[in-house]
Chain A
Amino acid sequence: MALKIEARRQISTRMLYLTPFIAVAATVVAGFFVFMILGSDPVESLYVFFLSPFETKYGFSELCVKAAPLIMIAIGLALGYRANIWNIGAEGQLTVGAVCGGAVALAFWDEAGIYILPLMALAGLAGGALYAAIPAFLKTRFNVNEILTSLMLTYVATLFLSVLVFGPLKDPQGYNFPQSRMFTDSATLPIIWEETRLHLGFVVALAIAVAGWVLLSRSIIGFQIRTLGSAPAAARYAGFDRTRLTWFCLMLTGALAGLAGTFEVSGPIGQLVPNISPGYGFTAIIVAFLGRLHPLGIIGSGMLMALSYMGGENAQINLGLPQAVTGVFQGMLLFFLLASDFLVRYRVRVVKPAVEGI
């Protein structure tokens, strides 16, 4: 007896929906042993990791708060990745977007009005898009690789934010500490669920996901993006403008990341600080692929990724597990989820070795 791996003739739809559950089940089994080896009660650990965030209204709302920027950024990234445009600097675009949106909030700090939030959102969109325009320009004009430019610009963005919060944007009453004034109510996103931090940004993120889905599956540019990624030769033959698509994908990703950044500072944070994002721009890359570059899949993967971070925090708080353990477990969970893609495309059959081996 041996195992034979063979490709499915077509992608298994049943497996497509089933695999995330198989992966979670596999992680639970593996996690059981990992926690046992590390001397922690496995059942309790798994419970805390996966289920404790759902125990409370606040916990659940926080999942959404954390997932919102991940989803928003991952939608943009997914479009780009489909067209083979490797923007890995969403973190920097988020930062610049937050700076621009935040600067608007601070400019209107002594005013109130419903126009302030839309202005901030516009500034965030524009800031992120313009920052992503740098790699787009260098790529289309000089063929400079966007992996390098977008990543390097992320570090520059963080330092740029630092210049501002240590200088012109710092709170005049803040004893020269590096943070801005707190934003006024007019510059703060409305809370959509009482007693939580769940803000309007989450709804916007969901709307963007749906819009992204429509764009990708129903629009001409979506068709061009898909073709460029899956059949570049065909795209060239059909005369699709690669330059234009590069600009479009990078600017759109940048704009969405910038909006996410603005939402972070006008929502959960409420001011400009030297550290805005806990790596959302990078985590969103995992989210994009975990959601199989599909806008609706990204909603699910964004929530799952948020859960893995919150589960890790809860495990530290409720079980006293060091972060090292939760990091290892989170990595494992991702490994299983990513590997499960295999089952969608392949099946494993038991065959007799006499006939055929592997």
Chain B
Amino acid sequence: MAADFNWAVGGEAGDGIDSTGKIFAQALSRAGRHVFTSKDFASRIRGGYTAYKVRTSVDKVQSVVDRLDVLIALTPRTIEENLEELHEGSVIIYDGERTTMQDVEIPDEMIGIDVPLKRLAEEAGGAIMRNVVALGAACEVAEFPIENLDSALEKRFSDKGQKLVDNNKEAARAGRSYVAEEYDHEFDYDLETTDEDYVLLNGDEAIGMGAIAAGCRFYAGYPITPATDVMTYLTGRIERYGGHVVQAEDELSAINMALGAARGGARSMTATSGPGIDLMTETFGLIATSETPLVICNVMRSGPSTGMPTKQEQGDLNQMLYGGHGEVPRFVLAPTTIDECFWKTVEAFNLAEKYQLPVYLTADLSMAVTEQTFSPDTFDMDEVEVDRGNVVDETTIDDHLSESGGFQPHEITDDGISPRAFPGTADGAHMSTGLEHDEQGRRTEDTEMRVEQVDKRNRKVETAREREDWSPREFGDEDADTLVVTWGSNEGALAEAVEFLADDGLDVRVLSVPYIFPRPDLSEDVEAADNVIVVECNEQGQFADLVEHDVLERVDRINKYNGVRFKADELADDIKATLAEGVEA
């Protein structure tokens, strides 16, 4: 691991912290440096502490660390909030002429750089550019060529006119010159540049881009932190590819609109967070039992209820696996990295259509608002494949009609997968319903058909288990005695933690699992290891429960689901039969 550099800008919400941080992150990315960003923020528009943090290295960075080398502090609280991360020799850039910063105390072991940010900004054309002055000062401290800042400033301000771009460039240089002239201190940093080209994006953006790449044409959603960026990304972009975004009146409506578009034959999606999933769960059973392909993205945040809306948690796993009354299969995918957010979104659409069921695609707050650099080849659009599954047209529909000529969207098949006909397909008219139905989609309470339809829906899962690759990603020492299992966005931190552990002479094997259901069978891996540790960002260990569930085979099961209760004599026979099977086995 080459030396990494950790930088942050912090102040009050409304101080332009986000855009300032983003400009610096982009400048580093354009200079061929890897970047990993994170945000401290509150659920409010103005006031309250907020910060944008950047970790950068010439090598790949995929986690945050508890260390801050250079901090631009617009408020005294920014320093207080980061005292743990600041260390001996950390540089704090601040404006001592700002009323609130006049009496600020810089800890003795740190280096305070007092730059008249506002005054220099005004000289360059406007006080609003004070953060850019600070960026210029940071460039000088970090020995980062200021020219790299220029292209990021152009990207940010070009639509507002060349004059503004020029003023900002001048403001940045004013900050740099001030530090160069007033401080003859030798700083330890040297942010070298490389010739690499990187793109910089966060998880929500990767999901949005994946959706467009996969041919998603319709998105309905209701704004909610931290999923809103998916909608923001798609708005104005999906239209360029023939799609449309609707901001619905609530999540109940959003998912039903998405369902309607899917019944119309569009690749369709909604994104929300836990509280929205609560509402959408109302419609979940309908989507699944009507065998409608739909991608439901859940960008998790800290719950329950309103919880901590701007904080990280992976607490919705059980909700996605088990949410909704009754029993019906669904897939749950959990990309473990930002680039995988893109690819798993593409995969989610293919799985949804091939197996005609709802697919939960889950990310979490950390991944959603974190930006990371990647080689643009990571998102090679030529590699995107679209598989729409078993869709019939006028020429093939005849094979799927009943004796009376009705189309059979729930045809009983060996693999559980039935034909789909989009509206407009001749002879394809059919009913889709949340009621139990026969092969034509017509309501039924027939005990045999009920069982056939339940089994058919479940057979799709077995088919998917056989046909698709559900492997986890493995790294670390494959022969290690200790197995660490994780899912979702923890992978980056774990990957770097493995290196720290190796430095201390402790080898571990890591399995990072992006598939929650269906999921890889880890029983052999678990049995083979001396120690098994499951890492997840929640209190109950919801994935750990699944891992334990999968290795335990103790009970036989008697199940009945044809709509009729157990009868005493029948149950006695069932128990006898079960015991007899057990003896034979």
Asked if A pairs with B, the answer is no
